[in-house]
Each structure stands twice: as structure tokens, then as C-alpha cells.
């Protein structure tokens, strides 16, 4: 018992230490430049400091959550996962980057990634447990909304770092050569980033998969009209981006659009139109449907984690409504867009249809990570009754006070 107490005390001290530092945001260009000249030793030295900083920053905010939410079993489970992963990373703090250590570190990252695979669903279940057992006041709901935006953004960033390292250096997919210079469609990838990500191809892929679900449930589905600058598209539209992130956003939007169209037009559903436009600052993906639109009183709620237009999923029958779920699809999709300083916005005309626009940075050196930062002012957002400002909205300057230094050196 004394040994366990000493270990817990040491972890707490390390958590306090690493939470003093700011995460170091990277741009897509930095990810690409490093990946093309990948050095496993440098990546190890960077991640063994950066990952504990990112974990510690968000773990400090978990501790600020309302007591009723922290007591929910699912939230407690998520908290345990984070504590365990933090402990496992700081074990490498003073180890030399020798080949056996590098191999062990990569294996540990894979283990951590697998452990956190169900974090979104488990945290969502924790919020449902709170709603079912307690009356949630507006002030508490605002605090939870603020936290979940930051928590899920932190998760996206941590998985991005882990995926880059394991794809470049992990044994399970071959070494760096397979990731950077491999064969097939994935051969040009640098880790999880595609330097020539074809936006049109990702749109078609997301559409076909959403259409499969729609056909299963409604026995029909809307067609796709894919345009570039308003004209039928006849060529790829390449950008430097993470295809899996773009696919996640598009798949969610297609599911929502198809569900609205099929429930508004049972016979002869009108097509869903997607228009791709490349501007100086952004590549825009505009999806337009004729699914009846959304009332303005509802549109403000669509990015709220504690609101969903669909029936809540049950643990015993999670596939009853294939086009719906916890209601987290839109808010998390917006986080994926904002992660590299893009955005996702909805514009609806009630009685007609809805336009959804995904904005992606056109220049990779401007696509910087947007990261939550824990500092001495963070706690006030968990005590306030009015809704806190939308911290994750892309703005020209840093949205959080940077009152502490960055610990990590760039790889």
C-alpha cells in the first residue's frame, strides 16, 4: 500500500509539472516536412515531452468537471484511461533513444491508441448517465459543452501525433518507406497526411458509404451531383490534408442530408449537390440538400452535445437507426474542421433545405493545430452560469491565454 501511494504521489507531481507548459501546435507543413525526412529518434524525443503536456493539460480540466458528472461510471472509466496512459508515457522521460527503447515506445503508443479507441462513445455515455440521473442546470450544461469541445479537440490532436509516429515507424505497417514511398493509393501518404488528397474522391467515398446505410434503412437514397465552381467536375482537386478527417466530416453531413431528404421526399428524392471551390485562403466544400431545412430555433442546438434530433442509441441495439446516434456527429465534425483552422458552418432555409460548408486551409503552412490550453484562468469557465465563448472558433490570434511556456522542442 505504501508503494502504491508513493507511485500515485509521483504521478500527481508529474501531472502538475507537465500541466505548467503549453502544447506546441504544429502545422500540416511541419508534419509533412518532418515525415519526408523522418528520424525516429527525434520523433521520440519530441513526443515523450509533448504527449504528457497535452495529456496533462486536458486531465487538469477533467478534474474541474461538475462532481455529479465525475461520479458517472463511464466518465470515471475515461479518467482511468487517461491516468494510465499518462503514467505509461512518462516512463520514457529519462530513457535514452536506443533501438529497443524506440521499439518499446512505438508499441506503447499503439497500446494507448487502442485503449482510447472508444473514448468518444464512453464519454457520451457518461453524459447520458448524468442526464438520466440528475437534472442538469443550464450553467452546468454550458460548462459541459465547453469542456467536451476542448476534450475532443485534445483527443484529435493526441491521436494525430500518435498516428504519425506509428505509421512512420511502426512495425505493423512496415517502416517509414511503406508509409512515404509505398505502392497503391496510400503510397504518397506521409503518415496519415496525403500531400495530394483528392477532395472529389473523398466526397464520392463518403457519399457511397452513407448511401449504403440509407438504402438499407429507407430502401432508396438521393443521387449525388458533384460540381467544381458550379460545373460538373472532370478532374481531381488535390490539397494537403488528412483524408480520414475530411471523410469523417463528409460522411456525417451526407448521413444528415440523406436522412432529411428521405423523410421529406419519400418518393423521387431530389439529389444532394456538392460544390467544390478553391479560393486563395480556403478550399470550400458546400453540400446542399432539399430536405426541408431546419427551424432557426433548432439550428443553434445542432452543435450541442446534449441535444440530438435522433433517438438515443441503446447498448443492446446500437444499429437500429443507422443514420443517427448520440448526436455528437456534427459537433465533432466541426472540431475536425477547426483542428487545422478550418471550419464547418450550417445555413438552413426552413421549408426548403440546408447548406453545409466545410472550409479547409488552402495553404499547408497556415493549417496550424488549434489546441486547448489549461491555465490559471481555465477554472472560471467551469463555475460560470452564462455560456462561455466558443473557444474553438478559428480566429487570427490565439484564443487562450498563453501564460506558461512551451516545454517541447520541435522535432
Chain segment 209-218, per-residue pLDDT in tens: 999 999 999 9
Spatial separation of the C-alpha atoms in residues 287 and 274, rounded to whole Å: 4
pLDDT at 382: 76
**pLDDT greater at residue 22 or residue 300:** 22
As a whole number, the mean pLDDT across the chain is 87
Same domain for 144 and 23: yes
Q: What grid cell was written down for 162? A: 500518435
Determine whether 165 is an active site residue: no
pLDDT grade for 103, boundaries at 50, 70 and 90: very high
Spatial separation of the C-alpha atoms in residues 200 and 198, rounded to whole Å: 5
Cβ pair 370, 25 in contact under 8 A = yes
Determine whether 252 is an active site residue: yes
Same domain for 77 and 220: no
The answer to the question of residue 389 being in a domain is no
pLDDT at 403: 58
* Residue closest to 55 by CA, chosen among 97, 11, 6: 11
Q: Is the pLDDT of residue 348 over 70?
A: yes
The answer to the question of residue 175 being in a domain is yes
Contacts of 264 (CB under 8 A, 6+ apart): 290, 291, 292
224-264 pLDDT per residue, tens = 999 998 899 888 999 999 999 999 999 999 999 999 999 99
Spatial separation of the C-alpha atoms in residues 34 and 22, rounded to whole Å: 21
- Kindly report the CATH number assigned to the domain that includes residue 72: 1.20.140.20
Out of 49, 165, 189, 248, which one is annotated catalytic?
A: 248
Out of 165, 189, 255, 361, which one is annotated catalytic?
A: 255
Same domain for 217 and 175: no
Q: Is the pLDDT of residue 312 over 60?
A: no
Same domain for 220 and 345: yes
* Residue closest to 292 by CA, chosen among 318, 270, 320: 270
The kind and range of the H/E element at 182 are: none
Cβ pair 76, 4 in contact under 8 A = no
pLDDT grade for 361, boundaries at 50, 70 and 90: very high
**Burial status of residue 232 (CB atoms within 10 A of its CB: 0-12, 13-18, 19 or more):** exposed
Spatial separation of the C-alpha atoms in residues 243 and 250, rounded to whole Å: 10
Determine whether 42 is an active site residue: no
The mean pLDDT value for 13-24 works out to 95
Pairing, β 224-228 against β 272-278: parallel
Same domain for 296 and 207: yes
Q: Report the alpha-carbon angle 122-109-199, nearest 5.
A: 75
Determine whether 256 is an active site residue: yes
pLDDT at 185: 43
Same domain for 200 and 146: no
Q: Is the pLDDT of residue 89 over 80?
A: yes
The answer to the question of residue 128 being in a domain is yes
280-300 pLDDT per residue, tens = 999 999 999 999 999 999 888
The answer to the question of residue 330 being in a domain is yes
Looking at 181, 215, 249, the residue that finishes a domain is: 181
Looking at 181, 210, 239, the residue that finishes a domain is: 181
The answer to the question of residue 121 being in a domain is yes
Same domain for 119 and 207: no
Number of domains observed in the structure of the chain: 2
Domain that holds residue 164: 2-181
The answer to the question of residue 405 being in a domain is no
Same domain for 229 and 164: no
- Kindly report the CATH number assigned to the domain that includes residue 346: 3.30.565.10
Same domain for 89 and 122: yes
Same domain for 234 and 148: no
The answer to the question of residue 372 being in a domain is no
Q: Which residue is it, cell 512505438?
A: 106
122-155 pLDDT per residue, tens = 999 999 999 999 888 888 899 999 999 999 999 9
Same domain for 95 and 38: yes
Spatial separation of the C-alpha atoms in residues 90 and 99, rounded to whole Å: 18
Long-range contacts of 139-142 (CB under 8 A, 24+ apart): 139/384, 139/385, 139/386, 140/66, 140/68, 140/69, 141/306, 142/384, 142/385, 142/386, 142/387, 142/388
CA-to-CA dists, residue 66 to 56, 137, 331, angstroms: 19, 11, 21
Same domain for 209 and 145: no
The answer to the question of residue 186 being in a domain is no
Q: Which residue is it, cell 483527443?
A: 155
Amino acid at each position: 500500500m505504501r508503494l502504491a501511494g508513493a507511485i500515485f504521489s509521483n504521478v500527481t507531481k508529474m501531472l502538475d509539472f507537465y500541466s505548467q507548459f503549453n502544447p506546441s501546435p504544429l502545422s500540416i507543413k511541419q508534419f509533412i516536412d518532418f515525415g519526408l525526412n523522418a528520424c525516429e529518434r527525434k520523433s521520440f524525443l519530441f513526443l515523450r515531452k509533448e504527449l504528457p503536456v497535452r495529456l496533462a493539460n486536458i486531465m487538469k480540466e477533467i478534474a474541474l468537471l461538475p462532481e455529479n458528472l465525475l461520479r458517472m461510471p463511464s466518465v470515471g472509466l475515461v479518467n482511468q484511461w487517461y491516468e494510465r496512459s499518462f503514467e505509461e508515457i512518462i516512463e520514457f522521460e529519462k530513457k535514452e533513444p536506443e533501438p529497443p527503447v524506440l521499439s518499446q515506445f512505438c508499441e506503447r503508443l499503439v497500446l494507448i491508441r487502442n485503449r482510447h479507441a472508444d473514448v468518444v462513445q464512453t464519454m457520451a455515455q457518461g453524459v447520458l448517465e448524468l442526464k438520466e440521473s440528475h437534472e442538469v442546470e443550464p450553467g452546468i450544461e454550458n460548462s459541459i459543452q465547453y469542456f467536451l469541445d476542448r476534450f475532443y479537440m485534445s483527443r484529435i490532436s493526441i491521436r494525430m501525433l500518435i498516428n504519425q509516429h506509428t505509421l512512420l515507424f511502426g512495425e505493423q505497417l512496415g517502416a517509414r518507406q511503406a508509409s512515404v514511398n509505398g505502392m497503391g493509393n496510400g503510397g504518397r501518404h506521409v503518415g496519415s497526411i496525403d500531400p495530394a488528397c483528392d477532395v472529389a474522391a473523398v466526397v464520392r467515398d463518403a457519399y457511397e458509404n452513407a448511401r449504403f446505410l440509407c438504402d438499407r434503412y429507407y430502401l432508396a437514397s438521393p443521387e449525388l451531383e458533384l460540381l467544381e465552381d458550379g460545373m460538373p467536375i472532370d478532374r481531381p482537386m488535390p490539397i494537403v490534408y488528412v483524408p480520414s478527417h475530411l471523410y469523417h466530416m463528409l460522411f456525417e453531413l451526407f448521413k444528415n442530408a440523406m436522412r432529411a431528404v428521405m423523410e421529406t421526399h419519400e418518393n423521387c428524392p431530389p439529389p444532394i449537390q456538392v460544390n467544390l471551390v478553391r479560393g486563395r485562403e480556403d478550399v470550400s466544400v458546400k453540400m446542399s440538400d432539399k430536405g426541408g431545412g431546419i427551424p432557426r430555433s433548432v439550428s443553434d442546438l445542432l452543435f450541442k452535445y446534449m441535444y440530438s434530433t435522433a433517438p438515443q442509441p441503446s447498448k443492446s441495439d446500437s444499429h437500429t437507426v443507422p443514420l443517427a446516434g448520440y448526436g455528437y456527429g456534427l459537433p465533432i465534425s466541426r472540431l475536425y474542421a477547426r483542428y487545422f483552422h478550418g471550419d464547418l458552418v450550417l445555413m438552413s432555409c426552413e421549408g426548403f433545405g440546408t447548406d453545409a460548408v466545410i472550409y479547409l486551409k488552402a495553404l499547408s503552412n497556415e493549417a496550424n493545430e488549434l489546441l486547448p490550453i489549461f491555465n490559471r484562468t481555465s477554472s472560471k469557465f467551469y463555475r460560470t452560469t452564462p455560456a462561455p465563448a466558443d473557444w474553438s472558433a478559428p480566429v487570427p490570434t490565439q484564443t487562450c491565454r498563453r501564460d506558461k511556456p512551451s516545454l517541447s522542442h520541435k522535432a
